[in-house]
Structure 1
Amino acid sequence: EALPPHLAAARVGRAAQGPLAGLTVYEGLHDPRVAELLLERLRNPGSWGPLRFERARPIPAALSGKLLDAEQSNSSLVYGDARGEAVHGDAYILKILRRVFPGPHPDLELPLALAAEGCDRVPAPVAWFEADDPTGSDDTLTLGVLQPYLRGSRDGWQLALAALGADREFTSEARALGRATAEVHLALAAALPTVTLGRAQTAQFADAMTARLDVAAQAVPALMPYVPGLRTAFDALAGLDEAARGPRSAAGTPRPPPYRRRCFSRRPPSLTCPQRR
């Protein structure tokens, strides 16, 4: 059976064997019916076959989904009205995760952790769906995450390229991006467990950054004046653990190493999620 015209571009092929033998296979996210069904399940959390749908807050009805055609690391559906606009200010993006693995997924775990800390720099998840690990472990597989859609937003790299192309100053935007990044990292450090890195690990990070700096400077000679200062900063990073052992507090006890790394292996105890049904 031929696909309707609006799904012709989504055709994958015709199955020659197996349970789908003789049927036409197509990319389901191009089908408005599939997009509508996914959102309806997210609006009404619970189990549906092997899938479990969770919801953090109510989702409006009568939203139409449209697959983003831009190349991304995940497949994304944007939900708005029939014209793709927001309905009463509500628009959402459903990220269907292509890289699936057992355990907490950073695309869900980190925004939830930031929301728990009151950090609004990243849109908080509205709903998500998961499945049990088919290998039989107690872990779940996160398959998709629904978040508010920031229409017209651009990432920092795009902003920097646009400023460069227009020969425009980017200093104020860079500072704003730095402040936002700092807020996110501080919130993550407060929400998630951390481990202290030793000298060998910080040195490894510093070596990797130095190697990337050398490659970048060779490719873009205009960066050469900044290389000495950056190398000094990277050397300071490599010596953080050693420096932390030297100075002592007024009480004579060693000061704790200042460089810590967040662990994303589990959700923090303070983070509450809707119970599964």
Structure 2
Amino acid sequence: MKFRSTRNKILLYFGIAVFVFIILVPIYWLFLTALTPRTQLFSVPPNYFPDFTLQNFRNLIDQVPFLAYLTNSILFAFGAIILSVILSFLAAYGFARIEVPGSNFLLFALVLTMAIPEIVTVVPLFQVLRNLNMIDTIRGLVMVMGSVLVPFSVWVLVTFVKRVPVEMEEAAIVDGANLPQVLFYIVIPAMKPSLVTVTIINFINAWNNLLYPLVFSSSVRAKTLTVSITEIFQARTPYGRPWELISTLGVTMVVPMIILVFVAQRGIVSGLTSGSLD
């Protein structure tokens, strides 16, 4: 029995090591390429410890309006998560607390919209934004991305709203609290881990989104960092594509996500597991 337990632990740790290796090697290669001079990028045999340089970052800033795109990405991502989380929380609370005929069907239909490919909705969304004079604007991108994130957020949050005891809300109402006070002082604090998790997931989705900024923006005032990868591709090199600049852009996109997940990892784990046990 002891031998079997030791063998299972060894197999488990080996599987974890293989998984971590598969995950970390591409990230290591991404950073390595971003910090490697172009002349050493395709050396044979490969040089895993080249003369590191920051010239690739300077070249990236010179080739695209980096600061403008970065500002747009931040505004786009934060605007999308604020809009999506607020709307999703209110919708989830309504689905969880208001008993109306067909509410389950409406929730199912809302969740089912996640199965629709984003590319299918591009043309009608473009027409809507054009009619609202929101083409090539951050607010237009925020409205589109925020609405896209709502179904997933509602699906996640409605379960956690149902786990908040109704008696707590009723006691607060008896004491004279109104609905906004009940939501702000009782429901939201009780759902803090799940709200943090949904916020981070939505931020990652918005930060990495390429389709909507690419289609609905045409100038520097609305383009995001993800769009710049299409502009980098226009500059060919003797090695084909400018892989060092592409990797540099990848690093600038990945680093904020790594920092965010590292800082908020406890909140993410708590939000994902708080509803697993009663």
Q: TM-score range by the shorter chain?
A: under 0.3
Structure having the higher strand fraction is: 1
Structure having the higher helix fraction is: 2
